[in-house]
Amino acid sequence: MKGVEQFPGMSVLDHGRDVYARYLDLIQPTPLLKWRMPEWVEKLRPLQLPLEIMKDYLIYHDCGKPFCRTVDAEGKQHFPDHAQKSYETWMQYAEAGCRCGMCGTTDEQIGNLILLDMECHTIKGDAIDEFIKRPEAPSLLFAGLAEIHSNAQWLQQLDSDQFKIKWKRIDKIGRRLIAKV
């Protein structure tokens, strides 16, 4: 993860660490970083999974990227099906059971979060109703917010159309979720 760049000057591991740091800020009652904050954040903040689970998930959510990286004819890198590859990588290399001994988490639980990581960025239509039924949905939405803010901040694109489109998708899912809570 250290040897593969997420973006120029930022490794995949550094990206995971940055997403985790942003998540830590987002779950605070008064975040310090610059956010485009959805209205539903306050209602979903108490529904987050334990921090011990979120830490490993967020830091290692892209751990499979080094194993699925491709470069196209123009030199642009791609990571096809990286959520699946990251899940497989996590499950292959993670130690059995909980590492902290206190939280009751399992590597499979973290692996499932890694597998679902891209859903809040890609799902549409009726699939949203299935997504919001999951107990992990609030945590996955917070992770998605942390990810898009991390990427946009690093690339200095917080006002870009691409960021706004990603934010609107996550916001739409969050609004549907709080309507069900």
Number of domains, the chain: 1
Region of residue 81 (phi > 0: left; psi between -120 and 50: alpha; otherwise: beta): left
Nearest-angstrom CA–CA distance, 2 and 97: 25
Nearest-angstrom CA–CA distance, 26 and 42: 10
Residue 94 has pLDDT above 50, yes or no: yes
Higher pLDDT, 65 or 158: 65
> What's the confidence (pLDDT) of residue 53?
93
> What's the confidence (pLDDT) of residue 95?
59
What DSSP string runs through 112-168? HHHHHTTHHHH--TTHHHHHHHSTTHHHHHHHHHHHHHHHHHHTT-TTSHHHHHHHH
Nearest-angstrom CA–CA distance, 89 and 94: 8
Mean pLDDT lowest among 66-75, 83-92, 97-106, 153-162: 97-106
Higher pLDDT, 84 or 172: 172
- Render pLDDT for 119-171 as a digit per residue (tens, 0 to 9): 988 998 889 999 999 999 999 999 999 999 998 887 767 788 888 999 999 99
> What's the confidence (pLDDT) of residue 20?
97
**Boundaries of domain holding 72:** 5-180
* Positive/negative CA dihedral, 48, 52, 58, 60: negative
Which H/E stretch holds residue 6? strand 5-7
Q: Report which DSSP code applies to 7.
A: E
In sequence order, the 6+-apart residues with CB closer than 8 A to the CB of 37 are: 31
Paired strand residues for 78: 70
Nearest to 120 by CA among 158, 176, 72, 159: 176
The pTM of this model reads 0.86
Q: pLDDT category, 174, cuts 50, 70, 90?
A: very high
Nearest to 53 by CA among 107, 96, 92, 90: 107
> What's the confidence (pLDDT) of residue 103?
45
- Render pLDDT for 13-56 as a digit per residue (tens, 0 to 9): 999 999 999 999 999 999 999 899 999 999 999 999 999 999 99
